[in-house]
Structure 1
Amino acid sequence: MSRYDAGIAAKIDDLFADWQQGVCPGGQVVVRKGGEIVYENCFGYASVEHRLPITGETVFHVASVSKQVTVMCVLLLQEDGLLNVDDDIRSYVSDMVSFAEPVSVRNLMNNVSGIRDQWELLMLQGVRLDDTITQSDAKDVISTQTELNFPPLTRYMYCNSNFTLLAEIAERVSGKSLNEFARERIFAPLGMAQTCFKDRYWQVIPNGADSYKRVGGELIHAVLNYGTYGATSLHTTATDFMKWMANFKEPVICKRETLSEMFACPTLLDGTKIHYAGGLIVNDPALYQGRPFIGHDGSDAAFRSCTVRFPVEDIDIAIFSNTDTVVIGRAAEKIVDLLLGVERSEVEPQVLPDFYDADFADEDVAGTYYSDGTYALIAQVVGKGDQLYLLEEYGAAPLVQVEGNRYQAGTANYELYLGSTAGFRFGTRCIPLKKWQPDQECEADGLAYAGTYESAELGTAYEVLVEDGALYLSHRRNKKQLLLRTAPDQFIAGVGGSLYGVTLTFARAANQAVSGFRVSTGRAQAVAFAKRN
């Protein structure tokens, strides 16, 4: 197939129809097959305010796609004989390690270290993701952790702290900033002239795209003030990144053995093989119809990125966007089908969850919904006239009724099922929800929980308040959040407008008085808080 195959190009264009609706944000798409660029296009605007279209020169923040480049910096230092990825990280950053268990550099690369995630720790400190966040902020909160989520190599858990530590190791060993080292050893040799790590939040990125999110009918700025790097903050173009991906096929900047080490998925202590290695997802059978692949997605603010290589078919895809209106991972999968001539039904089979109610009748579904299982989820649904809204970080997103009790939240890639049988679905993940009702038991013993709780690891404090018979969790930087009981001495609370919340498990002393709690998020488990006397 030549790059001028107009029929396939038109079908790929159609996948990005939402980026072609007048003056709106959009993205870059570049596709290569057999070493030849077979499709490239740009859609939408890098700056909606200034009417600056996205071009091939537009530079995007690509979020977690950054991780693979950070890993390569560390592996190049291993090629130089300056470090060994099987060393304990204390050999390089002993001042940033306060936990007892040995963690290797390789554990960081493969997300099996057990270290708590920096973003969720910062969130627990009261930092909001639209605050200015520096590399020092991230390093400081990592270095004060005295416990791990789990012993290394006993579980896989995605963790941004791992790659902040890898960036620090690379800088200390090389004596250069991560951006300087990457430019000398990766970007310049590969001709990636528009690629860099943004390591200060005030840094100007030439041709940089702004980030936009649609809330209801309004287009807003999704603010991103990161000065952190290693886990994120690579800035590049799709054309530049194709040069990086070409190195996976024919290595120029490293030895072929280095790539093999980068792509080598670890085996956990219980014998489980995971599908994450070297800052990349590798051959996860749940993705891309089971085709062998290496790749990674990224998501910060409204920036979205998807980069994937299919080595058997020799296909590379890079999609970078400054908005979340297109599910770009799904678009990448459809592009591969188009290139390979695979026909799939446009109508996906509807395997609806148990909490779907086709006979859903009009009822008062506004209220607070929550999960009481592994995932702490809280969805606040409000009604205004005949319209329902989901309260989110940037405001109220209108809910669109698909059918029965099934609702779509704007352009979000998830569904809510409301009413007496409720739930949340994201892709294949289905989580039942309950609608909160005032807890009379909690009203009776609420004062036992009331007080101030402090964390030595986070250097911050929370208050538990009793108001009008309900319990609330309050922090000086965030408004108070309703505490919902899910089990004896266990509660969940919302955080920052996100659907994902935190779980609090209270501890009691020998006299049964409440003595503290441990708080868990998805990637930061059991952080201890002691009750102040």
Structure 2
Amino acid sequence: MYRSKFYLAIFMGILFSSWITSVYSQKKVLFVTSNQEFYGNTKISTSNHFEEIVIPYDIFIKAGYTVDFISPKGGAIPIGYINSSDSIQKKHLYDAFFMDKLAHTLKPSDIKTEEYGAIFFNGGGAAMFGVAENQTIQNIARKIYNQNGVVSAICHGTAGLAYLKDDAGKSLYHGKKITGFPDKFESKEKEYYKTFPFAIDQAIKNNGGNFVYSEKGWDSFVVVDGRFVTGQDPSSGTKMAQEIIALMEAKISPIQKQTTTNLDKVFSEWDNDPFKPGVAAGLLKNGQVVYLKGFGSADVTHQSPITTDTKFQIGAMSKQFTAFAILLLEEQGKLSLSDDVHKYIPQLADFEHKITIKHLLSQSSGLPDFLALKEIAGWRDKDVFTQKDALDLIFQQKKLDYIPGTKFSQTSSGLILLAEVVKQITGQTLAAFSQEHIFQPLGMTNTLFCDDSEMMIPNVAISYQASKNGLKNSHSNNSITGTTNLYTSAADLSRWYLNFESPKVGSKKLIEKLTSPVTLNDGTTTFNPTAGRLLYGQQHLHARRGVPKIWAFGLEGGYASNIFIFPRQNVTSFVLGNNNRYNGSLAMNMAIEALGDVFPQPPSIDFSKLKTIKMTPQQLETYSGYYWDNERVAARRVYVKNDTLRYQSLGSNDESQLVPISENIFQMVVDGDDVIMVKFRKEAGNMKMIYTSGESDEYVYEAYNPINHSSTALSEFTGTFYSDALKTTYTLSQNEKGLFTSNKNQPVISLTPIQADLFLSSARNFGGIRFVRDKQQNITGFHINSDRIKNLFFEKIKH
């Protein structure tokens, strides 16, 4: 039985691998246009025929295909013959995303032919010039045809086929029926006609083709001969697109169709509402693109569909590109990870301890997190926040939270500084360096770091925020790079991850380092928060149902991106969205479809089958109480309810049940496969609680007795406090609910007493505050502590 399953798995793997090579090309069509603005050398204007572009384009997009545009020179192309009373033409004429494609057509040298299943030569008078004789375009068409693709042309676009040859130099369509705009229908007495380099029908005949046409004209005449699809005039556009799709779909095997159907079901919520914010998705297996598709709308107002070339901001997922740039410079011999950061950034304060490039990459620099500093300093989300602003916050800090390389902390300050390191070494911003040395070599034409919040980015999905009154635009005003602000598309992200399999930029050794764990100075201690083990690529390694996975996510405004990589199975799944939600379930469901039955553990823990012990309420009460984690500045409450032990974050209404595995070890009841353990032990007469999630580091909480201050006692903590490191003031006041604070830009932050001079705030980055007293026991200030910042001092201002 085992052997038969083994052979079946191999057989299914062979079938799966046999078709994935062609899947990517099945869903992409290349439109060929012309840059010509005048007929020949005259001043008679000509253009590309708008109807012949938009009608097929609209059909392809609705069928889930991606359309790219090229022209001999790239860039803007002239368009004409526009009928704005036609609904489809009007829709695309006022679609900024579509019109931007025509304003930024690709150059023939930008094209990777293996990605396309069809080439479509567009018509209009401009098509008679610059296309037929372009050898690169001819090579592209021949290669697409040779890889079992479709070659098509409409009206005057058939001129592009005039000289089309096979690899042996013979006609590619010898003896086949081809149509186009016949010479008979031309206005031969007009000046434009005299500029034509050839008559289309005669050129096709001269190249061995059988030119045919309808005497009637404008009757949707289309010819399909093998994998050549040609149309006589603008009326042919709809039927041509349908015939091309039929040919492309016919090449898809039943197993491929079934897999695609299964993957489509993951995104079924857009089936009946395609014009709401959505996602673009990609799935890779064994170094090949298996699935690439867009769902929903990039711009709800104009109902512009999301395609695989639509750009999204990927938030914190941008960090991997910064890390890659640094490792690339290391590989080029331009820096060493052991270099002192002051070598490149002398403005950084002298902390009496060396901070290295490695410390910045490994989140062990001891620098406070600039995002926490930003929030505490009073910056609002809508404020314009630049790279200089981020650096200034870091440069103002004169103390480290700990000696570099001795501890880890959740901080993004290192990535901001690494962007500056790139600039100092190369003379280029991170945006410019990445463009030249990473994105362009990999063909990532829709990827860029945005270091200017006012930059106009073409073909970008609008960031939406859902509210009770409907959708709102959620614009980001920051222009920082290193930690965020990378815009990319699903197609480009697939190119990026394919580089991990067969590196074209960077070496295999670099990729291995990027996906290896960071360590402290001892070279062995790793960083294992609940998200998983931190890797040099700023992603986390964490098990899913017993199978190791690398993952990361990014949330920025209404943008939400997720990536899951299963390295042992060679499966990569990602989803980019503008739909204002966490898209991890979509990405994971795609991955599960590709992985099949590889998981040794079930999707969720069956707690009814878990081996537990029985404990009396009195035994459980032994662990009841309040617990404080001084390192991460977090408080928890444990209590007995309905004869079971419960776990709760202080200030939250949510609670989790703890089931006893042994007398002092409990497992938390959760939905899913996460194994969360809570252990209790007594040390020096005090109870401690140790929390772990999967293979995470231990989070140690110590029992404490909450203190209740009287109104008179609380008044001692009120006053105005100033931080010289942030040039920021906070006023602490009290009301009937207790102590609270705010400044002019911050919402009200409530403070809950933990110990005599220690309070926990309701804001994560504000963390907890511990008051400082002089010898006379008068309060002189307080320190802010959190998991991202330590001992940020605010001095009490005397009035």
TM-score (norm 2): 0.54
Q: CA deviation at 1:514?
A: 0.6
- Cα–Cα, structure 1 residues 200 and 314, in superposed 2: closer, same or farther, change >3 Å? same
Q: CA deviation at 1:224?
A: 1.8
CA distance in 2 between partners of 1:461 and 1:198 (Å): 32
**Contact in 2 for aligned 1:98/1:144 (Cα 8 Å):** no
- Cα–Cα, structure 1 residues 201 and 72, in superposed 2: closer, same or farther, change >3 Å? same
Q: CA deviation at 1:165?
A: 0.4
Q: Which residue is equivalent to 1:355?
A: none
Return the letter of the residue paired with 2:538: L
Q: CA deviation at 1:84?
A: 1.3
CA distance in 1 between partners of 2:415 and 2:604 (Å): 37
- Cα–Cα, structure 1 residues 80 and 425, in superposed 2: closer, same or farther, change >3 Å? same
**Contact in 2 for aligned 1:472/1:482 (Cα 8 Å):** yes
CA distance in 1 between partners of 2:741 and 2:669 (Å): 24
Q: State the structure with bigger RCO (CA 8 A, min sep 6), 1 or 2.
A: 1
- The one of 62, 71, 93 equivalent to 2:323 is 71
Render the CA deviation track for 1:322-368: whole Å, top value 9, x for unaligned.
Answer: 1243542x43333232212228799734769xxxxxxxxxxxxxxxx
Q: Which residue is equivalent to 1:146?
A: 398
Q: Which residue is equivalent to 1:320?
A: 576
**SS state at 2:721 partner:** strand
CA distance in 2 between partners of 1:300 and 1:51 (Å): 22
CA distance in 2 between partners of 1:343 and 1:216 (Å): 42
Q: Which residue is equivalent to 1:523?
A: 788
**Contact in 1 for aligned 2:732/2:739 (Cα 8 Å):** yes
Q: Which residue is equivalent to 1:272?
A: 525
**SS state at 2:345 partner:** helix
Q: CA deviation at 1:189?
A: 0.7
Q: CA deviation at 1:6?
A: 3.1
Q: Which residue is equivalent to 1:332?
A: 587
**Contact in 2 for aligned 1:64/1:297 (Cα 8 Å):** yes
Matches within 5 A, 1:95-494: 95-215=347-467, 218-268=470-520, 271-274=524-527, 275-281=533-539, 284=541, 286-328=542-584, 330-342=585-597, 348-349=604-605, 373=629, 417=654, 441-468=709-736, 470-494=738-762
**SS state at 1:235 partner:** strand
The aligned length equals: 473
CA distance in 1 between partners of 2:670 and 2:372 (Å): 22
Render the CA deviation track for 1:428-455: whole Å, top value 9, x for unaligned.
Answer: 7799xxxxxx986241212211111111
CA distance in 2 between partners of 1:417 and 1:326 (Å): 20
**SS state at 1:287 partner:** strand
Return the letter of the residue paired with 2:534: Y
Return the letter of the residue paired with 2:259: I
Render the CA deviation track for 1:10-60: whole Å, top value 9, x for unaligned.
Answer: 333333344556232111101121233211221111122332221122100
**SS state at 2:346 partner:** helix
Q: Which residue is equivalent to 2:150?
A: none
CA distance in 1 between partners of 2:653 and 2:296 (Å): 29
Q: Which has the higher strand share?
A: 1
CA distance in 1 between partners of 2:655 and 2:519 (Å): 40
**Contact in 1 for aligned 2:281/2:575 (Cα 8 Å):** yes
CA distance in 2 between partners of 1:245 and 1:110 (Å): 22
Render the CA deviation track for 1:160-192: whole Å, top value 9, x for unaligned.
Answer: 111110000000110111111111111111111
Render the CA deviation track for 1:48-90: whole Å, top value 9, x for unaligned.
Answer: 2332221122100011121121122222222332221211111
CA distance in 2 between partners of 1:310 and 1:37 (Å): 15
**SS state at 2:716 partner:** helix
Q: CA deviation at 1:489?
A: 1.1
CA distance in 1 between partners of 2:655 and 2:422 (Å): 49
Q: Which residue is equivalent to 2:688?
A: none
Return the letter of the residue paired with 1:322: N
**Contact in 2 for aligned 1:16/1:326 (Cα 8 Å):** no
Render the CA deviation track for 1:297-336: whole Å, top value 9, x for unaligned.
Answer: 22222311123433332222231111243542x4333323
CA distance in 1 between partners of 2:263 and 2:486 (Å): 26
Establish whether residue 27 from structure 1 lines up as the match of residue 279 from structure 2: yes
Q: Extract unaligned runs of 5+ from structure 2.
A: 1-15, 24-251, 528-532, 609-625, 636-645, 647-651, 659-667, 679-690, 692-705
Q: Which residue is equivalent to 2:772?
A: 507
CA distance in 2 between partners of 1:11 and 1:372 (Å): 47
Render the CA deviation track for 1:476-527: whole Å, top value 9, x for unaligned.
Answer: 21233322212211112234xxx77521111111111111111123312221
CA distance in 2 between partners of 1:351 and 1:154 (Å): 39
Establish whether residue 81 from structure 1 lines up as the match of residue 339 from structure 2: no
CA distance in 1 between partners of 2:369 and 2:336 (Å): 24
**SS state at 2:709 partner:** helix
- Cα–Cα, structure 1 residues 165 and 531, in superposed 2: closer, same or farther, change >3 Å? same
**Contact in 1 for aligned 2:781/2:794 (Cα 8 Å):** yes
**SS state at 1:213 partner:** strand
CA distance in 1 between partners of 2:725 and 2:264 (Å): 50
- Cα–Cα, structure 1 residues 245 and 448, in superposed 2: closer, same or farther, change >3 Å? same
Return the letter of the residue paired with 1:163: L
CA distance in 2 between partners of 1:376 and 1:273 (Å): 21
Render the CA deviation track for 1:254-291: whole Å, top value 9, x for unaligned.
Answer: 23333333333233357433332323325x2x333343
Render the CA deviation track for 1:397-434: whole Å, top value 9, x for unaligned.
Answer: xxxxxxxxx9xxxxxxxx95279x9x998977799xxx
CA distance in 1 between partners of 2:634 and 2:282 (Å): 36
Q: Which residue is equivalent to 1:11?
A: 262
- Cα–Cα, structure 1 residues 295 and 349, in superposed 2: closer, same or farther, change >3 Å? closer
CA distance in 2 between partners of 1:174 and 1:151 (Å): 29
CA distance in 2 between partners of 1:300 and 1:78 (Å): 30
**Contact in 2 for aligned 1:484/1:491 (Cα 8 Å):** yes
Q: Which residue is equivalent to 1:361?
A: none
CA distance in 1 between partners of 2:759 and 2:371 (Å): 22
Q: Which residue is equivalent to 1:381?
A: none
CA distance in 2 between partners of 1:131 and 1:308 (Å): 33
Return the letter of the residue paired with 1:288: R
**Contact in 1 for aligned 2:292/2:490 (Cα 8 Å):** no
Q: Which residue is equivalent to 1:400?
A: none
**Contact in 2 for aligned 1:63/1:300 (Cα 8 Å):** yes
CA distance in 2 between partners of 1:254 and 1:176 (Å): 19
Q: State the superposition RMSD in angstroms.
A: 3.5
**SS state at 2:747 partner:** strand
- Cα–Cα, structure 1 residues 508 and 220, in superposed 2: closer, same or farther, change >3 Å? same
CA distance in 2 between partners of 1:317 and 1:99 (Å): 42
CA distance in 2 between partners of 1:171 and 1:442 (Å): 55
Q: Which residue is equivalent to 1:395?
A: none
Q: Which residue is equivalent to 2:170?
A: none
**Contact in 2 for aligned 1:446/1:469 (Cα 8 Å):** no
Q: CA deviation at 1:9?
A: 2.7
CA distance in 1 between partners of 2:771 and 2:467 (Å): 36
CA distance in 1 between partners of 2:356 and 2:521 (Å): 15
**Contact in 1 for aligned 2:731/2:743 (Cα 8 Å):** yes
**Contact in 2 for aligned 1:377/1:494 (Cα 8 Å):** no
- Cα–Cα, structure 1 residues 428 and 456, in superposed 2: closer, same or farther, change >3 Å? farther
Q: Which residue is equivalent to 1:57?
A: 309
TM-score (norm 1): 0.79
CA distance in 2 between partners of 1:340 and 1:516 (Å): 56
CA distance in 2 between partners of 1:469 and 1:38 (Å): 57
Give percent identity, aligned residues only.
27
**Contact in 2 for aligned 1:450/1:466 (Cα 8 Å):** yes
CA distance in 2 between partners of 1:144 and 1:439 (Å): 35
Q: Which residue is equivalent to 1:390?
A: none
